[in-house]
Amino acid sequence: MDSIIVTGGGPLNGEILIAGAKNACLALMPATLLSEEPLTLTNAPRLSDIKTMTELLQSLGAEISTLDEGRVLVLSSHSADNPLAHYDIVRKMRASNLVLGPLLARHGKAVVSLPGGCAIGARPMDIHVTALEAMGAVIELKDGYLHAEAKGGLKGAVIDFHFASVGATENVMMAATLAKGTTVINNAAREPEIVDLADCLRRMGAQISGDGTSSITIEGVERLHGATHPVVTDRIELGTYMLAPAFAGGEVELIGGRIDLLQAFVEKLDQIGVDVTETKRGLKVKRRSDKLKAVDIVTEPFPGFPTDLQAQMMALLCTAKGTSVLEEKIFENRFMHAPELVRMGANIEVHGGHATVTGVDKLKGAPVMATDLRASVSLILAGLAAEGETVISRVYHLDRGYEHVVAKLRGVGAQIKRVKSNG
């Protein structure tokens, strides 16, 4: 198992190219199941989660090839005939559940393993299931698998989500493209990844409107055709690297960055004392002074502050002046980075869904353990500004969501390396 070693210091200067969004690409790839013709995705990120989705779709009969060192994915489902998403693959990645809607739309039948719990929370699938049932599917849970069937095909329905689930919006949107009649999703998720999926489905011939708002309307069509679609910029990778100069000083330009992807996050950075300016190629980030200010953060569905940037922001606030309260409203167990940050000298108290962070002067390097994707990267960021060496173990989590993290940070002057270790 590899470790990452970061030696604190600074400043960081230069530019970082932001990749296509993992969470958009994971939703776009299953859209291949909706058409007999090929779907080409450009600007795809090179990540282990993308490999897992590739493996899953191949197990369903899709053919997938890559071009340009993995940045282009060509997916073809003309001979995809297997409706069974096996536990062996699904358990590796919750986003595997995004094949449920497309499989049902294509075969009128799907057998998809439940993903099980994951480190950040229980993450049930009730919203997906209730919505697909409203569209005429009969769904039963047997032996850990959801057995779904829609004899005679799915039918359009008006669906009211009790929570704006990203995955359920994506699943239902895909299923509805080929359903008979009109589907309306109320309280739909508004994330940029939803808009990206809707854009791609429209390129394939789907009739979708309202994406990016809380009410999405999908008119079912007979068939979808092939298309080529560029994956939207990864706003979470963007936000993560925007924080690097906030930790270590200097000025970094994020190529491909857009403020509209991260408005709530950028507003918090301004309050903390970090300037973000738009450039022709993206965004430039620089802190206003060495001492940052504490702020309170509440994670919320888009356009609120993203849960996927909470860990990284908590790490930054560890050395801000004053006390910050972070409230996690999306996942019930997403503070696993807190005890690791405490090992680096942070002052953090966690009570249920709240974490109180009282700023200390400096963090100190320590051996720490990555517990999930975003927690891992928060420890790297903390290491950039800590005194001495931070050794992060279990970094395989990082490979799920950050391509070439070491090279990207080295490129702006960070002292960071990846080593093989036995731990």
Is there binding between residue 368 and ligand EPU (CB under 6 A)? no
Helix, coil or strand: residue 59: helix
DSSP string, 99-131: GHHHHHHHHSEEEEE----BTTB----HHHHHH
Is there binding between residue 374 and ligand EPU (CB under 6 A)? yes
Rounded to an integer, what is the distance from CA 335 to the centroid of its chain?
A: 17
Residue 59: is it exposed, middle or buried by C-beta count within 10 angstroms (0-12/13-18/19+)?
middle
In this complex, which beta carbon is closest to ligand EPU, that of residue 137 or of residue 366? 137
Q: Is the peptide bond before 11 cis (omega within 30 degrees of 0)?
A: yes
Is there binding between residue 109 and ligand EPU (CB under 6 A)? no
Instruction: Lay out the site mask for ligand EPU across 165-194 (x = CB under 6 A, - = otherwise).
Output: xxxx--------------------------
How many residues in the shown chain lie near ligand EPU by CB under 6 A?
23
Q: How far apart are CA 349 and CA 338, in angstroms?
A: 8
Is there binding between residue 127 and ligand EPU (CB under 6 A)? yes
Least gap, CB of 83 to ligand EPU (angstroms) = 20
Which of 415, 422, 423 has its CA nearest to residue 388?
415
Least gap, CB of 321 to ligand EPU (angstroms) = 29
In this complex, which beta carbon is closest to ligand EPU, that of residue 126 or of residue 270? 126
Q: Which stretch binds ligand EPU (CB under 6 A): 9-17, 121-129, 273-281, 345-353?
A: 121-129
List, in order, residues 6 or more apart from 2 with CB less than 8 Å away.
395, 396, 418, 419, 420, 421
Q: Helix, strand, coil shares of the chain as percentages rounded to 5?
A: 35, 30, 35
Is there binding between residue 310 and ligand EPU (CB under 6 A)? no
Q: Which stretch binds ligand EPU (CB under 6 A): 65-73, 161-169, 204-212, 238-246?
A: 161-169
Is there binding between residue 125 and ligand EPU (CB under 6 A)? yes
Residues that bind ligand EPU (CB under 6 A): 23, 26, 94-95, 121, 123-128, 163, 165-168, 307-308, 330-331, 373-374, 401
